[in-house]
Amino acid sequence: MQPTHVPVLLDRVLDLLAPALDKPGAILVDATLGLGGHADALLSAHPELRLVGLDRDPAALARSGERLAKHGDRVHLVHAVYDKLPEALDDLDIDGVHGILFDLGVSSMQLDVAERGFAYRADAALDMRMDPTTGQTAADVLNTYSVADLTRILREYGEERFAQRIAKAIVAEREKEPFTTSGRLVELIYANVPAATRRTGGHPAKRTFQALRIEVNAELDVLTDAIPAALAALVVGGRIVVEAYQSLEDRIVKRAFAELARSRTPQGVPVELPGHAPQLRLLTRGAEQADEEEKERNPRAASVRLRAAERIREAA
Among 82-86, 176-180, 196-200, 291-295, the range scoring the smallest mean pLDDT is: 196-200
Among 6-15, 190-199, 249-258, 283-292, the range scoring the smallest mean pLDDT is: 190-199
Q: Report the pLDDT value the prediction gives residue 300, as an integer from 0 to 100.
A: 86
What confidence category does residue 166 fall into, taking pLDDT thresholds of 50, 70 and 90?
Answer: very high
- CA dist 200 → 176, 186, 193 (Å): 31, 16, 11
The class level of CATH for 10-109+219-311 reads alpha beta
Annotated binding site: 36-38, 55, 82, 103, 110
**Domains 10-109+219-311 and 120-217 fall in the same CATH topology:** no
Q: pLDDT per residue over 217-242, tens digit each?
A: 999 999 999 999 999 999 999 999 99
Q: What is the mean pLDDT of the chain?
A: 91
Phi, psi of 38 (to 5 degrees): -65, -45
Q: Which residues pair with 315 in a beta bridge?
A: none
- In the chain, pLDDT over 90 holds for what percent of residues? 78
The class level of CATH for 120-217 reads mainly alpha
Contact (CB, 8 A) for 170 and 131: no
Would you kindly state where each structural domain of the chain is located, as residue ranges?
Answer: 10-109+219-311, 120-217
Q: Is the pLDDT of residue 299 over 90?
A: no
Annotated binding site for S-adenosyl-L-methionine: 36-38, 55, 82, 103, 110
Q: Is the pLDDT of residue 249 over 90?
A: yes
